[in-house]
Amino acid sequence: MKGEIGLMELEKLLMELSNGFGPSGFEGEVREIFRRAVSDHADISYDNLGGIIATHRGNAPEPKILLAAHLDEVGLMVRGILPSGYLKVVPLGSWFTPTLLAQEVRVRSKNGVHIGVIGAKPPHYMSEEERNRPLKFGDLYIDVGVGSRDEAVALGIEIGNPVAPAVQAAAMSQPGALIGKAFDDRAGCAVIVQLLRELDHSHPNLVMGAGTVQEENGAKGAHTIAAYTQPDLCIVLEGTPADDFADAGSIIQGRLGGGAQIRRFDPSMVANTALVNLAIEEAQKNGIPYQVTVREGGGTDGSEIQLHANGVPTMVIGVPVRYAHSHHGIISMKDVEATIRLVKALIFKLDRAVVENIQQNPW
C-alpha cells in the first residue's frame, strides 16, 4: 500500500466486499467482486463448488502457496411461509439467537430482494414463563410486511430463498475503524486481493489466492479448493473473533489495533508450529504488529486443507473482528495492513528449501 490513497482504496474494497450478498451456498455476488478486483493481476479459475482461484506467478513454478479466505457469511434460509405471511427460517452458519431479534434482513427471491425484519412474539403478549426462558431460534420469524402467504408468494418468495443481514458498511469516527457485516471473512478476502495487487513476479513460488465457499456450513469449499490447487503450504486468512470486549478479563489475544493475529490452536486444528514460528520471526524482524492466540472454540478452512493428500502445512492469520457472527462487526485498518505486510513477508520467504523443511520438520 502506498500512502493515504492506497489506504482509502483498501477501505473502499473492504466495504464493497462487506456489503456483498453472500450467505453460505449463495456466494456468487461476493465472488464477482473478488474476481473483478484481481482479474488484472492474476489468472482466474474456479472449482466445481463455486470457489475462485487467482493464480499469481513468481520466478519459480513451485512451491505452491495457497492463501485461502472464505467468501460466505452467516445467513439464513427460508424453510416455510406461514398462512399469515411470516417466514420461518433455518440458520446458515452459527448465530447467537438473541443477536438476531429486531434486525433488518434482505430476502433474495426470483423477483428481487425484499427487506424484512426478524420478529418474535412481543413481550406484551408473553406469559411469565415465556418471559423467563431464553429466546430460541424457533421463536423467530421474518416479517416482510405482508398479511398472508399469497402476498408473500406474489413477491416471489419461496422455500429455499437465502437471507442476509441488511447492513451497509461505513467508516467510524475513530480513524481506521470500519463497521459492517461479514468481516468474517471479507477481511480475509480483502487481504488476499490487496496482496495480489501488490505482488510483482519476483517471489520464489506460485501464489494461489482463493475465495472458498460454504466455510460457515462445515468448511465444504476448503475441501474442493485443496483438491483443485494441490498446495504445498497454506495460509488461511480469517476475520477472527476479537476478545477485547468490556470485562474481557486478563487474557486478551485479539485486540483491535493489536496487529495480525497468529493462531497456534483452535479445536479444529493445531497449526504447523514451524510455520507459526516463521511468521512470528518475520513479524519481529520487519516490525509488524502481531498477537498470538490459542482459541478455546471455533474453526476455519484450515481444518480441511491441512488434511489434503499427504498433509499440507497450514496456519491461520486473522484480522480481529468485534461482534463476529452478528449484523454489525468492527475492524481496524491497522490490523488489516499488518496482516497484509506479514503475509507478504512470508510469501517472499517461502522458497522450495524453506517449504520442504517445514514439511519435513513441522515442530
3-state SS of the chain is CCHHHHHHHHHHHHHHHHHCCCECCCCHHHHHHHHHHHCCCCEEEECCCCCEEEEEECCCCCCEEEEEEECCECEEEEEEECCCCCEEEEEECCCCHHHCCCCEEEEEECCEEEEEEEECCCHHHCCHHHHHCCCCHHHCEEECCCCCHHHHHHCCCCCCCEEEECCCCEECCCCCEEEECCHHHHHHHHHHHHHHHHCCCCCCCEEEEEEECCHHHCCHHHHHHHHHHCCCEEEEEEEEECCCCCCCCCCCCCCCCCCEEEEEEECCEECCHHHHHHHHHHHHHCCCCEEEEECCCCCCCHHHHCCCCCCCCEEEEEEEEECCCCCCEEEEHHHHHHHHHHHHHHHHHCCHHHHHHHHHCCC
Supply the pLDDT for residue 2: 47
First and final C-alpha spacing in the chain:
33
| Contact present, 263 and 295 (Cβ < 8 Å) | yes
Are 114 and 60 in a shared domain? no
- Name the domain count of the chain: 2
173 falls within a domain: no
User: At a CB cut-off of 8 Å and minimum separation 6, what does 320 contact?
Assistant: 240, 241, 242, 243, 244, 254, 255, 256, 258, 261, 291, 331, 332, 335
Are 281 and 344 in a shared domain? yes
Q: What tens digit of pLDDT does each residue of 217-234 get? A: 999 999 999 999 999 999
Q: What is the chain's mean pLDDT, rounded? A: 96
Range of the domain at 245: 3-73+181-360
Are 107 and 32 in a shared domain? no
Q: How far apart are CA 140 and CA 132, in angstroms?
A: 16
Domain final residue, candidates 103, 133, 165: 165
Domain final residue, candidates 136, 165, 194: 165
Which stretches of the chain drop beneath a pLDDT of 70?
1-5
CATH of the domain at 16: 3.40.630.10
Query: What nine digits make up the cell of 162?
Result: 437465502
136 falls within a domain: yes
Domain final residue, candidates 165, 192, 218: 165
Are 196 and 309 in a shared domain? yes
Q: Which residue among the candidates 73, 215, 238, 337 is catalytic per the annotation?
A: 215
Q: What tens digit of pLDDT does each residue of 309-318 get? A: 999 999 999 9
Q: What tens digit of pLDDT does each residue of 22-37 get? A: 999 999 999 999 999 9
Are 265 and 345 in a shared domain? yes
Supply the pLDDT for residue 249: 81
Is 128 noted as a catalytic residue in this protein? no
